[in-house]
Structure 1
Amino acid sequence: MSRPASPGAPSEAHNVLAITPFRRLWISLVLSGLGDWLSLLALVSLAAIFTADAPVLVRYLAIGGVLAVKLAPSVLFSPLVGALTDRLDRRWTMVAGDVLRGLLYVSVPVVGLLAPGFALPWLFIAALLAEIVELLWTGAKDSAVPNLVPRKLLGQADRLGLFTAYGTAPIAALLFAGLASISNVLGVLVPSLASPEADIALYLNGLLFFVAAGIVAGLPIPAHRSAKDTQSPTRDARILPAVFQGLRGSGDPVLLRGLSVGLIATVVAVGAVIGVGRLHAEGLGAGNAGFGVLFAAVLGGMGLGAIAGPRVLKLFSRRRLFGLTAVLAGVVLLFTGAVGDMVLAAVLALVLGVVAGMAWATALTVVTREIEDEHRAAVHAHLNGAARLTLVLSTVLAPVAAGFIGDRALPIGPLTYDLRGGAVVLMAVGLLGVVAAVVAHHRVNRNDPEAGPGLLPELFAALRGVEITEPVAEDDKPSGAFIVIEGGEGAGKSTQVRELTVWLRDQGFEVVSTRQPGATKLGMRLRGLLLDRENSHITPRAEVLLYAADKADHVQQEILPALRRGAVVISDRYTDSLLAYQGAGRDLAVSDIRDISTWAVQDLVPDLTVLLDVRPEEGLSRLSGPADRIESESAEFHDRVRKGFLDLARADPDRYLVLDAREPRERVTREIQKRVRALLPDPVPSASEAVTGMIPVIKND
Structure 2
Amino acid sequence: MSRSAPLGAPSEARNVLAITSFRRLWISLSLSSLGDWLSLLALMSLAVIFTADAAPLAGHLAVAAVVAIKLAPSILFSPLAGALAEKLDRRWTMVGADVVRGLLYVSIPVVGLLWPAFALQWLFIASLLAEVVALLWTPAKDSTVPSLVPRRQLAEANRLTLLAAYMTAPVAALLFAALASISNILGALVPSLANPEADIALYLNGLTFFVAAIVVATLPIPKHNPGLSAASPNRDGAVLSSVLTGPRHVGATALGRGLVVGLLTAVAAGAAVIGVGRAHVEALGAGNGGFGVLFAAVFGGVALGMVSGPRLLKKFSRRRLFGLVLVLASIALLFTGLVWDMVLSAVLVLVLGFGSGVAAGTGLRLLGTAAASTAGTTSEESVHRERAFAFVHGAARLTFLVAAVLAPVLAGLAGDHTVPIGAQLEYDLWGTGIVLTAVGLVALVLSAVAHRLVNRDDPEAGPGLLPELFAALRGIDPNADDGDGEVRTPGAFVVVEGGEGAGKSTQVRELTVWLRDQGFEVVGTRQPGATKLGMRLRGILLDRENSHITPRAEAMLYAADKADHVEQEILPALRRGAVVISDRYVDSTLAYQGAGRELEIDDLREVNRWATQNLVPDLTVLLDVRPQDGLGRLGGPADRIESESVDFHERVRREFRTLADADPDRYLVVDASEPREKITRQIQKRVRSLLPDPVPSSSEAVTGMIPIIRDED
TM-score between both structures, scaled by the size of structure 1? 0.71
CA distance in 1, matches of 2:86, 2:543: 49
Aligned mate of 1:384, from 361, 385, 393: 393
Deviation at 1:231, TM superposition (A): 2.7
Structure 2 residue aligned with 1:148: 148
Contact 1:9/1:159 (<8 A) preserved:
no
Pairs within 5 Å for 1:335-414: 335-369=335-369, 371-372=371-372, 373-374=381-382, 375-413=384-422, 414=424
CA distance in 2, matches of 1:580, 1:110: 83
Aligned mate of 1:448, from 448, 453, 458: 458
Contact 1:143/1:227 (<8 A) preserved:
no
Structure 2 residue aligned with 1:327: 327
Q: 3-state DSSP class of the match of 1:416?
A: strand
Structure 2 residue aligned with 1:170: 170
Counterparts in 2 of 1:312 and 1:596: CA distance versus 1, 3 Å: same
Structure 1 residue aligned with 2:629: 632
Deviation at 1:135, TM superposition (A): 1.7
Deviation at 1:422, TM superposition (A): 0.7
Structure 1 residue aligned with 2:604: none
Deviation at 1:239, TM superposition (A): 1.5
CA distance in 2, matches of 1:579, 1:90: 58
Structure 1 residue aligned with 2:95: 95
Structure 2 residue aligned with 1:560: none
Q: Deviation string for 1:5-61 (max 9, x for gaps)?
A: x99956631111000000010111111111110000001111111000011110000
Deviation at 1:76, TM superposition (A): 1.4
CA distance in 2, matches of 1:142, 1:604: 43
CA distance in 2, matches of 1:126, 1:544: 60
CA distance in 1, matches of 2:360, 2:408: 25
Counterparts in 2 of 1:72 and 1:640: CA distance versus 1, 3 Å: farther
Q: 3-state DSSP class of the match of 1:338?
A: coil
Deviation at 1:302, TM superposition (A): 0.3
CA distance in 2, matches of 1:266, 1:660: 38
Counterparts in 2 of 1:452 and 1:189: CA distance versus 1, 3 Å: same
Deviation at 1:387, TM superposition (A): 1.3
Structure 2 residue aligned with 1:117: 117
Structure 2 residue 286 is matched with structure 1 residue 276: no
Contact 2:246/2:390 (<8 A) preserved:
no
CA distance in 1, matches of 2:526, 2:355: 32
Contact 1:247/1:253 (<8 A) preserved:
no
Contact 2:249/2:371 (<8 A) preserved:
no
Counterparts in 2 of 1:472 and 1:119: CA distance versus 1, 3 Å: same
Q: 3-state DSSP class of the match of 2:247?
A: coil
Structure 2 residue 46 is matched with structure 1 residue 55: no
Contact 1:334/1:426 (<8 A) preserved:
yes
Pairs within 5 Å for 1:412-431: 412-413=421-422, 414-431=424-441
CA distance in 1, matches of 2:35, 2:452: 42
Pairs within 5 Å for 1:605-616: none
Structure 2 residue aligned with 1:435: 445
Counterparts in 2 of 1:543 and 1:440: CA distance versus 1, 3 Å: farther
Q: 3-state DSSP class of the match of 1:418?
A: strand
CA distance in 1, matches of 2:126, 2:230: 31
Deviation at 1:611, TM superposition (A): 6.5
CA distance in 1, matches of 2:426, 2:137: 51
Letter aligned with residue 436 of structure 1: L
Contact 2:628/2:646 (<8 A) preserved:
no
CA distance in 1, matches of 2:193, 2:54: 20
Contact 1:34/1:169 (<8 A) preserved:
yes
Deviation at 1:418, TM superposition (A): 1.6
Deviation at 1:608, TM superposition (A): 9.3
Q: 3-state DSSP class of the match of 1:409?
A: strand
Q: Deviation string for 1:268-311 (max 9, x for gaps)?
A: 11000000000100100000000000000111110000111111
Contact 2:250/2:370 (<8 A) preserved:
no
Letter aligned with residue 355 of structure 2: V
CA distance in 2, matches of 1:202, 1:331: 35
Unmatched segments (≥5 aa) in structure 1: 1-5, 474-520, 553-574, 585-589, 613-626, 649-657, 662-701
Unmatched segments (≥5 aa) in structure 2: 1-5, 373-380, 484-492, 513-523, 529-537, 548-553, 566-583, 599-623, 649-713
Contact 2:85/2:139 (<8 A) preserved:
yes
Contact 2:251/2:257 (<8 A) preserved:
no
Identity of aligned residues (%): 57
Counterparts in 2 of 1:321 and 1:540: CA distance versus 1, 3 Å: closer
Q: 3-state DSSP class of the match of 2:628?
A: coil
CA distance in 1, matches of 2:290, 2:193: 20
Structure 1 residue aligned with 2:603: none
Give the root-mean-square deviation of aligned CA atoms.
Answer: 3.8
Structure 2 residue aligned with 1:686: none
Contact 1:147/1:230 (<8 A) preserved:
no
CA distance in 2, matches of 1:93, 1:207: 18
Counterparts in 2 of 1:611 and 1:426: CA distance versus 1, 3 Å: closer
- Matched positions, count: 548
Counterparts in 2 of 1:259 and 1:377: CA distance versus 1, 3 Å: same
Deviation at 1:232, TM superposition (A): 3.0
Deviation at 1:644, TM superposition (A): 3.6
Deviation at 1:106, TM superposition (A): 0.3
CA distance in 2, matches of 1:228, 1:632: 33
TM-score between both structures, scaled by the size of structure 2? 0.70
Letter aligned with residue 506 of structure 2: T
CA distance in 1, matches of 2:647, 2:112: 76
Greater alpha carbon shift after TM alignment, 388-397 vs 406-415: 406-415
Q: Deviation string for 1:317-364 (max 9, x for gaps)?
A: 000000001111110000011110001101111111101000000102
Counterparts in 2 of 1:429 and 1:465: CA distance versus 1, 3 Å: same
Contact 2:314/2:472 (<8 A) preserved:
yes
CA distance in 1, matches of 2:17, 2:472: 38
Q: Deviation string for 1:145-186 (max 9, x for gaps)?
A: 011000000000000000111000000000000000111222
Pairs within 5 Å for 1:619-658: 628=625, 630-633=627-630, 637=634, 641=638, 644-645=640-641
CA distance in 1, matches of 2:362, 2:51: 42
CA distance in 2, matches of 1:305, 1:660: 39
Q: 3-state DSSP class of the match of 1:237?
A: coil
CA distance in 1, matches of 2:148, 2:161: 13
Deviation at 1:193, TM superposition (A): 2.0
Contact 1:10/1:159 (<8 A) preserved:
no
